[in-house]
Each structure stands twice: as structure tokens, then as C-alpha cells.
Amino acid sequence: MLALVRRRGSSAAAADPRRGTFGGPLLAAIVVVAGLTLSGLVHAELRAAQRDNADRVMDQRNAMALAAVTTETERYRSLIEAIAAGIGTDDRFVWEDFDAATAPLASARLIGAATVTYIVPSTTDKIPQTQAYWRARGSDGLVLRPAGNYPEHYFAIFTRQLNTVGPLLNGIDAAASREASSALVDARRMSVPTVSDTYVLLRDRNLPRTRQQHSFVFVAPVWTREAYPEFRGWIVLGMRSQDFLSGVLATVSQGQLDGVLLADNQDGSRPVVARYDVAGDPDLTRSARFPVADREWTLVTSADSRRLPGARSSLPLAVLFGGAALALVLAGLVYLLATGRSRAWARVQEATAELRQAEAESRRQAGLLGAIMTSLGDGVGVVDENGSFLLHNPAAKALLGVDADVDDPAAWQHHYGLFRPDGRTPFPLDELPLIRALHGESSDGVEMIVRNPHRPEGILISVDGRPLDSSAGQRGAVAVFHDITELRRYENDLAVFAGVVAHDLKAPLTVIRGHCETAIEDLAAAPADPAVAGVRESLERIVRAVDRMAGLIDTLLAYATARDAPLRTRTVHLGALVAEVIQDRTAHLRPQDRPGVYVGPLPEVRADPAMLRHVLDNLVGNALKYVRPGSTARVDVTGETDGDRARIVVADRGIGIPDADKPDVFESFHRAHASAGYSGTGLGLAICKRIVERHGGEIGVADNPGGGTRFHFTLPLAAGSEEPISAEDAALERALAERAAMENVAPPDLAERPAGEPSAARLRAPVPDPPPTSTGPSG
């Protein structure tokens, strides 16, 4: 159930990442849209708040400008009104009075004010009179200059210049200006201060057009203060509107406010009185009307909201771009997170696929190994470093006859029933190939008998042991073994055959030879006759053939002995043995046929003397045999020690061995010079090899420098103080060994053969009875 739930869980999880392929970009897009929308909203909100703020600031600035303009115009109006009122009280108004009355204006910082003038009316006919009158009152050199044919003229009598320089222009006629005369007339008519329409001041009309500017005049009528007031004239304040507006707004606008002053002219027009511009692109505008004397003027202010303090900042834009950037970053992160899962999933899939592939491959390998193990005829056993079995193939179980393995090496001998080849001695634990392999030592062809309740008959096995290859990933050992019972039986059959040949054929040969020799001796006494000579020759040929056959039988016997006869090692005096061999080989030769022999100092070795004699006899015999026809043989026997080994060299000056034959001359029945007429069996060197190897040595052949052949072989050096065996004893030993080889050969199951069979000797490697403790299959 748990597994089912897990499977469901994992299949649900498997669906998600596939959605994640599209989900990642979708989520990222949603985040981008949401982020941009939010940034836009906040931006709009901030902009709206900014606009409100700008409006508020603009309102404040406009109010300030309006207040300034209103205050100033009102101040000018009230100033000239006060002057006019003062003059009205003066019965005898002269220049000094005017000068005193208008003196405060000079210090009143009247922005834009050009002149303050006292103007009196006069009809054309009264001009000389008026002129004389005002000359007498302080207007020196006054010349009234009527402007034209007007019913009434308005002459400037006294003038004070404010913020301006130039001639005093007393005596000019204001009637020349329609706007000024209209304001004068209105002021007199209404008895209130008035303001004129805009025009170019008479004094400015001589200036270049670019320097002329809109101007206007404040006019205050001068009436006496009597019960019946009498009109005297006007106090006129000439204003340059551009200077006025610039001066007033320069302070209050702080360079942020544009201003346009619009006058309401009597004809209903609304000309621009003055314009004040500051830098920027105005987007906020306010318009307000305010009283100027008897009229209402309009002040239009405008400003660039970006230049108004606090009205605008880069915050909304920063919020917009910051928000957009944040949204993009966030979207990127979301995308990474969302697709990260599918990427991880893809990687997991990839790794899983690789894992599956590796698993399939290792399963295939394991299957292959299993199949190989199953089909192997040889038994294979693998143990870990503790001796616990990792593997035992079917052949191993079949060979050992035991199904269950036991992991304690100390119990192996008893469990599997392992004995030495004698069938009786339990196999020592330390010598078991697996144990030796665990100690890093390889072993080959270790023979042992397996006999247990499941294998009561016992089998002979040959075991190879190797340390486990390090590529296996763990320490251990492997043993490969196979049943050699049948092989040994076959070999024994051959040995038996050899024994039979030796035993049963040699006796008749001896008889034949004896009879031949007797007949030859008898014929020696017979008279010389060609027929007798022919018989004698035939008999001698028979003797030679019998000798050859006996030699062959001896060789075969030696061949069997070399392999099967037990080694009886002794300390052997090599020098004496070599001398004996050479003596045997050369004693019968005529002095002129004797070979050149050199025997160097030779060490004592540990060997089976009878077998070692075979080796030396074969090598010396070959050295004497393989010589060029007509030449005398030469043989040198030398020895040296190398560590605990002796190295013996038998060299000759004979025909040598072709290189192609050298690797094979130690094989049974291989002959290199068979066609050259040298007799032989091809077994001599094979016997030598067997014997040397059974002594743990090695044998080889090389060319003798200068011609001939050099054979060498190694043997263990004699270790202790043991007495070397005498030549007679060695001969006796040899005879015993050969006899043993003849008799002591039989396959393990030979005992089951019919009792009457002649070769039914006892088992060479008998299988002992089961040990008394082994009572059942499990034991």
C-alpha cells in the first residue's frame, strides 16, 4: 500500500515538471505584467499627488504675486492721492511745495515709476496767462507748448523724475495723448484717482521702438478744501508697466513665475500691459482680477510645474522604472525557480536513465557472469578477505558434493573433506590455495582429495588459487579447481603400461639376448664358412636391436619415474655424480674416440640423486651424441651458485639446435635432428624438464658462443650438514624408484576392478575411509 501511495505520489510529481515547461514563462509573464501594472499605478498616484502639490504651490505663488501687484498699485494710487490732497490745502502752491510734497516719492522705491508731474488745464486762449502764472510760481522758463488744436490743454508744470534721467519736459501738453487726457478728464470728473489706458509715455516717444514700452499713468485730481472746492490740476504718476511688473514679480516669483498684466481699456480691449517671462515651459496658469484705481486689471501668472519646489520630483519616474526593473528581476527569479524544477527533473531523468542503463548493463554483466559460471565445467569459489564465500558456481558444488558453504576457513577441511593426495592426511589450512591467495600468494595445480559423506568415493582435484583482482573493488581470493581423477587414471594407465612393458618385456629381451650371445659364442668355434658368418651377423643385429629396445624401455620407464616416483631428496655431491656419469658414458670408448671433458667445481645440491643422474646423463649423452661426423665431442660441465640455488651448465661444441626448435626441444617426442641420422626417442629433454621442475628449478637452452649448445638448469643448494649420498646408494635409490614407478601406479578406482587383473596393485593415491566423525550429509 505504501508503495502504491509512493508510486501515485511520484506520478503526480512527474506531471508537474512537464507543466513547468510552460508554467515557468507564464508565471514570469504574470509577474512582469503585475509588477509593471503596480509600478504604473504607483507612478500615476504619485504623479497625481505631485500635480495636486503643484496646483497648491502655484495657487500660493499666484496669490503672492497678486498681493504684491495689488499692494504696489494701491500704494502708488494712495501716494499720489495723498500728495494731491496735500496740494489741495495749499492756497499758494509753488514749486517748493511740489518739491517738498513729492520728495518722499524719491525714497519710496516706486518700482516702474518714471515721473511725478503736476499738470494744470488751460484753454488755448489762456495759455500765455497760465504760463506767466506758473513761471511766477517757480516753474522757471516754463514754455507751454500746446499739442494741437484741442479745446483744452493739459500742461506739465512741475516734474520730479523718479528712476529716470533726462530733460524735465515741463510745458508739454498731455492732450497729445488720448489715453492720458482721458484719465485726467475722468479724474477731474469723478474726483477720484484714475489710471489711464496703456500708451507710450510722451517722454519715451523719442526712444527707439525697441526701448519703448507700455506705460500708464496714475492720476489724482487736486481740489481745494473749501466749502466749494475748486479744481486746480492733477498729480500724475507716469508708470512704465514693464519695469513695474518685472520689479514686482522678480521678488515674489523667485524666477519660477511668468506674469502677464492685462489692462481693461475703456474701449473694452484688454491689451497686455506688461509681460514677465522666466525660463521653462509653463503648464500651470492662474488668472485673477484686481483693482487698479478706478479700473480692474488682470494678472495672469503661469509656471512650469517642474520648476516649482516640491511640485515635481523624479520620484514617480524612479518608482516607475525601479518597479519595472524589480518586476523584471522578480520575473527572472520566478522563471528560474519555476523552470529550475523542470531542469532538475530533466537532470534527474537523465541520471535515472543513465542509472537504469548502468543497472541494465551490470545486470547483463551479472547474467553473463552467472551464465559463464553456470556453464563452466571447472569449479569456481570466491571468498572475501574474511573467508566468507561470495560465490560458488554449480560446478564447484557438484565437484565438492556439498550444497551449503561454510564461511569459517578453519572448518573448510572438515566440511568439504579435503585431504592430501595420499588420501589420509587432512589438508593443512595454511596450504589451501584460497588461504594462500588471501595472503597474496598465487598457487597452481595444487592437488588434493575431496572426500566427504556426499562424495564417499573421493575425487582428486587440482586447484589454482589467486588473490582477487583489485578491480573487483574488494579484497578476497578466487580458487578454480577441476576434477583430475580421470586424467590421473589415464596417466596411471600409461604408467601401468610402461611398468608392464618394463617388467614383462625386459625379461624376454634378456632371454633373447642371452641366447643370441650363447649362439654367437658357439659359432665362434665353428669353421670359417660364409653361411656361418651370415648367421653370426644376424645374431649380432638381433643383439643390437634388443639393446635398442631395452634402451627404449629404460627411457619410457625413466619418463614415468620422472613424473610419478616420489622425490627422495638428499644432499648430492654434484661433482662425484657428474664424474660417474661421464665415466659410464666414456669408459668403453677407445682412447682416440674419447671426448674432451672439463668438469669445473660443482656445489652440493639438494635433490633426488637417482633422478638428478637421469638429467646429467641425458645432457652429457646428448653433448657426446650430437657432434659433427668425424669430429671429437667436447663437453664442459660447470656450476655456480645464485642465492640459495645452484646453476649448472652443460655446454658442447656440437651441431647446435636451430632457433626455431629451441622452444620445443623440452616437449615429449620433439626431435630437432631426426632426419640427420642421429638416433633417439625425443624423450630425454622432456624427462630432464620434469625432473628439474619437480625440484623447483628451471631448465633452458641457448647457443654456446663459438658453436654448439649450452644447457642450463637450476637446483636448490644443499642446506645443512647432511652427508652426501654415495654413488652406490644413489644407484640403489634409483633402482628402488624405478621399481616403485613400475608398481605404484593405478587409478583411484582400480580397486574396483576384477580381482584377477594382473595390474591390480593398490591405489597410488588411495581414498581413505570417511573420518569417524562424519556421520551424515550435514557432517
Instruction: Answer yes or no: are the C-beta atoms of 651 and 708 closer than 8 Å.
Output: yes
Say whether residue 657 binds ligand ADP (CB under 6 A).
yes
Please identify, using beta-carbon distances, which residue of 685 and 718 lies nearer to ligand ADP.
685
Q: Which residues contact 256 (CB under 8 A, 6 or more apart)?
A: 61, 278, 280, 303, 304, 307, 308, 309
Q: What are phi and psi for residue 754, nearest 5 degrees?
A: -55, 140
Say whether residue 146 binds ligand ADP (CB under 6 A).
no
Strand order in the sheet with 215-223: 153-161, 113-122, 231-240, 215-223, 194-195
Please identify, using beta-carbon distances, which residue of 121 and 654 lies nearer to ligand ADP.
654
Please identify, using beta-carbon distances, which residue of 304 and 636 lies nearer to ligand ADP.
636
- Per-residue cell: 638: 660447470
Name residues contacting ligand ADP, limited to 350-389 (CB under 6 A): none
Task: In whole angstroms, give the CA distance from residue 248 to residue 768.
Answer: 141
Stretch that binds ligand ADP, among 55-63, 396-404, 592-600, 655-663 (CB under 6 A): 655-663
Say whether residue 320 binds ligand ADP (CB under 6 A).
no
- 153-161 and 194-195 as β-strands: parallel, antiparallel, unpaired? unpaired
- Per-residue cell: 415: 566440511
Looking at 662-754, which runs of residues are DSSP E strands? 699-703, 709-716
Please identify, using beta-carbon distances, which residue of 634 and 734 lies nearer to ligand ADP.
634
Say whether residue 683 binds ligand ADP (CB under 6 A).
yes
Say whether residue 681 binds ligand ADP (CB under 6 A).
yes
The only residue of 114, 685, 763, 765 in contact with ligand ADP, by rule CB under 6 A: 685
Minimum separation from the CB atom of position 618 to ligand ADP (A): 6
Task: In whole angstroms, give the CA distance from residue 297 to residue 288.
Answer: 8
Say whether residue 671 binds ligand ADP (CB under 6 A).
yes
Task: In whole angstroms, give the CA distance from residue 651 to residue 626.
Answer: 12
Stretch that binds ligand ADP, among 290-298, 355-363, 421-429, 616-624 (CB under 6 A): 616-624
- Per-residue cell: 559: 619418463
The only residue of 381, 603, 654, 747 in contact with ligand ADP, by rule CB under 6 A: 654
Task: In whole angstroms, give the CA distance from residue 365 to residue 345.
Answer: 29
**DSSP label at residue 30:** H
* R_g of the chain computed on alpha carbons: 74
Please identify, using beta-carbon distances, which residue of 222 and 685 lies nearer to ligand ADP.
685
The only residue of 223, 244, 626, 713 in contact with ligand ADP, by rule CB under 6 A: 626
Q: How many residues bind ligand ADP (CB under 6 A)?
A: 22
Please identify, using beta-carbon distances, which residue of 604 and 652 lies nearer to ligand ADP.
652
- Per-residue cell: 571: 644432499
The only residue of 179, 258, 304, 652 in contact with ligand ADP, by rule CB under 6 A: 652
Q: How many CB atoms lie within 10 A of CB 402?
A: 21
- Please give the helix or strand (H or E) that residue 664 lies within, else none: none
Q: What are phi and psi for residue 289, nearest 5 degrees?
A: -95, 150
Say whether residue 672 binds ligand ADP (CB under 6 A).
yes
Say whether residue 633 binds ligand ADP (CB under 6 A).
no
Minimum separation from the CB atom of position 699 to ligand ADP (A): 11
Please identify, using beta-carbon distances, which residue of 693 and 749 lies nearer to ligand ADP.
693
Say whether residue 680 binds ligand ADP (CB under 6 A).
yes
Task: In whole angstroms, give the CA distance from residue 415 to residue 32.
Answer: 79
Say whether residue 622 binds ligand ADP (CB under 6 A).
yes
Task: In whole angstroms, give the CA distance from residue 685 to residue 689.
Answer: 6
Measured on CA atoms in the order 673, 675, 676, 681, is the torsion positive or negative? Answer: positive
Say whether residue 485 binds ligand ADP (CB under 6 A).
no
Say whether residue 595 binds ligand ADP (CB under 6 A).
no
Stretch that binds ligand ADP, among 156-164, 180-188, 452-460, 665-673 (CB under 6 A): 665-673
Please identify, using beta-carbon distances, which residue of 238 and 684 lies nearer to ligand ADP.
684
Chain residue at closest Cβ approach to ligand ADP: 680
Helix axes 530-564, 506-525, angle to 10 degrees: 160
- 634-642 and 596-599 as β-strands: parallel, antiparallel, unpaired? parallel
Stretch that binds ligand ADP, among 135-143, 381-389, 650-658, 763-771 (CB under 6 A): 650-658
Say whether residue 673 binds ligand ADP (CB under 6 A).
yes
Closest CA to 546 of 507, 585, 490: 507
Say whether residue 311 binds ligand ADP (CB under 6 A).
no
Site map 432..471 versus ligand ADP, x via CB under 6 A:
----------------------------------------
Minimum separation from the CB atom of position 540 to ligand ADP (A): 23
Please identify, using beta-carbon distances, which residue of 703 and 729 lies nearer to ligand ADP.
703
Please identify, using beta-carbon distances, which residue of 465 and 708 lies nearer to ligand ADP.
708
- 3-class SS at 450? strand
Task: In whole angstroms, give the CA distance from residue 444 to residue 458.
Answer: 21
The only residue of 112, 247, 609, 684 in contact with ligand ADP, by rule CB under 6 A: 684
Stretch that binds ligand ADP, among 567-575, 578-586, 653-661, 766-774 (CB under 6 A): 653-661
Task: In whole angstroms, give the CA distance from residue 114 to residue 128.
Answer: 28
Task: In whole angstroms, give the CA distance from residue 556 to residue 558.
Answer: 5
Say whether residue 72 binds ligand ADP (CB under 6 A).
no
Minimum separation from the CB atom of position 491 to ligand ADP (A): 20
Minimum separation from the CB atom of position 775 to ligand ADP (A): 53
Helix ranges, 89-177 (H) = 95-107, 127-136
Instruction: Answer yes or no: are the C-beta atoms of 238 and 203 closer than 8 Å.
Output: yes
Measured on CA atoms in the order 98, 102, 106, 107, is the torsion positive or negative? Answer: positive
Strand order in the sheet with 389-392: 389-392, 379-384, 476-483, 455-467, 443-452, 418-419
Stretch that binds ligand ADP, among 192-200, 393-401, 512-520, 679-687 (CB under 6 A): 679-687
Minimum separation from the CB atom of position 497 to ligand ADP (A): 20
Stretch that binds ligand ADP, among 206-214, 341-349, 672-680, 747-755 (CB under 6 A): 672-680
The only residue of 342, 485, 704, 709 in contact with ligand ADP, by rule CB under 6 A: 709
Say whether residue 506 binds ligand ADP (CB under 6 A).
no
Stretch that binds ligand ADP, among 67-75, 392-400, 410-418, 664-672 (CB under 6 A): 664-672
- Half-sphere CA count of 699, side-chain side, radius 13 A: 25
Say whether residue 691 binds ligand ADP (CB under 6 A).
no
Q: Which residues contact 364 (CB under 8 A, 6 or more apart)?
A: none
**DSSP label at residue 454:** T
Please identify, using beta-carbon distances, which residue of 406 and 549 lies nearer to ligand ADP.
549
Say whether residue 162 binds ligand ADP (CB under 6 A).
no
Instruction: Answer yes or no: are the C-beta atoms of 214 and 272 closer than 8 Å.
Output: yes
Q: Which residues bind ligand ADP (CB under 6 A)?
A: 618, 622-623, 626, 652, 654-657, 665, 670-673, 680-686, 709
